[in-house]
Amino acid sequence: MTAKTYMVGNWKMNQTQAEIESFFSGLSLSNNQNNFWIAPQCLHISKCMDLGAKAGVLIGAQNCSEHEYGAFTGENSVDSLSEMGVHFTLVGHSERRTLFGETDETINKKVLKASQTGILPILCIGETLKEREAGKTLDIVLGQLKAGLKDLKIQNESEVIIAYEPVWAIGTGKTASPEQAGEVHNAIREVLSELYGDFGQDISILYGGSVKPNNVEDLLAQPNINGGLVGGASLKAESFNALCSAC
């Protein structure tokens, strides 16, 4: 199995122009093989593309529209994102699902739209605390996985990435234990293999949810955890450097 390891920062609605400059000037990424990525606010993509190119950091979006173009005020089309040169887009982040009412159906349309446009979708899936406590974790996560990937055809393993993010661990300081996360990642791997055969063995599965420099190594030691999707700890160069050096 040779799934590539990625460290992806989700900056959410954070970072001023000055903070972005300070972030990029503080980066020192060893072992960089184009696998350290940042998703800033859309307004900042252009600036980050310039600064990221010098640092060897690829830039993506946090979301995209499922529509091609038209009267969708406030949305960003995949064509426009592609014209800007973005490499990837997050799709179905739990904040999009809970705060903006995104359904598995919409998320699937976004995955397909991004992929057709040559933008790599990072499909985010994860259970709430209530669902975990009710013993429904795998049903929920694997259901979201299959629904999000419906009709997605890939020609190789690097055309899609999955991010498992337990909702109860995002921005809360509570991380899933490596064993809890590892168990879900193993189940995701099985489904990816059923869906995509050999490619499924090598699709990267990221873990997200309060990943920090002090817990990243234990998480990455799990065989099917192939990197992190990181919010808070990706905002400062110092901690992003530390996360990347664990890859």
Residues taking part in catalysis: 93, 165
Is the Cβ–Cβ distance between 188 and 200 less than 8 Å? Answer: no
User: Measuring CA to CA, how many Å separate 22 from each of 6, 10, 160, 171?
Assistant: 22, 17, 31, 23
Q: Would you state the structure tokens that stand for residue 93, as one six-digit string? A: 């982040």
Radius of gyration of the chain (CA): 17
From the list 150-158, 186-194, 196-204, 230-238, the region that binds ligand PEP by CB under 6 A is: 230-238
Query: Interface residues for ligand PEP in 173-212 (CB under 6 A)?
Result: 208-211
CB closer to ligand PEP out of 196 and 240:
240
- The footprint of ligand PEP on this chain (CB under 6 A) covers a number of residues equal to 14
222 binds ligand PEP (CB under 6 A): no
89 is an interface residue for ligand PEP by CB under 6 A: no
Closer residue to ligand PEP, CB minimum distance, 175 or 224? 175
* Residue labelled with tokens 């349309």: 109
The strand pair at 88-91 and 161-164 is best described as: unpaired
CB 124 within 8 A of CB 148: no
Stretch that binds ligand PEP, among 36-44, 134-142, 229-237, 238-246 (CB under 6 A): 229-237
Q: Is 246 in the site for ligand PEP (CB under 6 A)?
A: no
Nearer to ligand PEP, 60 or 231 (CB): 231
Q: Is 229 in the site for ligand PEP (CB under 6 A)?
A: yes
Q: In the set 152, 206, 230, 247, which binds ligand PEP (CB under 6 A)?
A: 230
- 3-class DSSP state for residue 134? coil
Question: Is position 165 an interface residue for ligand PEP (rule: CB under 6 A)?
Answer: yes
CB-nearest residue to ligand PEP: 231
Round to whole Å and give the CA distance between 173 and 168: 9
Closest CA to 128 of 160, 176, 61, 91: 176
Q: Is 10 in the site for ligand PEP (CB under 6 A)?
A: yes
Torsional class of 85: left (φ above 0), alpha (ψ -120 to 50), beta (otherwise)? left
Between residue 14 and residue 33, which ones bind ligand PEP under the rule CB under 6 A? none
Smaller CB separation from ligand PEP, 95 or 157: 95
| H helices present in 28-74, as ranges | 45-55
Residues lying near ligand PEP in the complex (CB under 6 A) are found at 10, 12, 165, 170-171, 208-211, 229-233
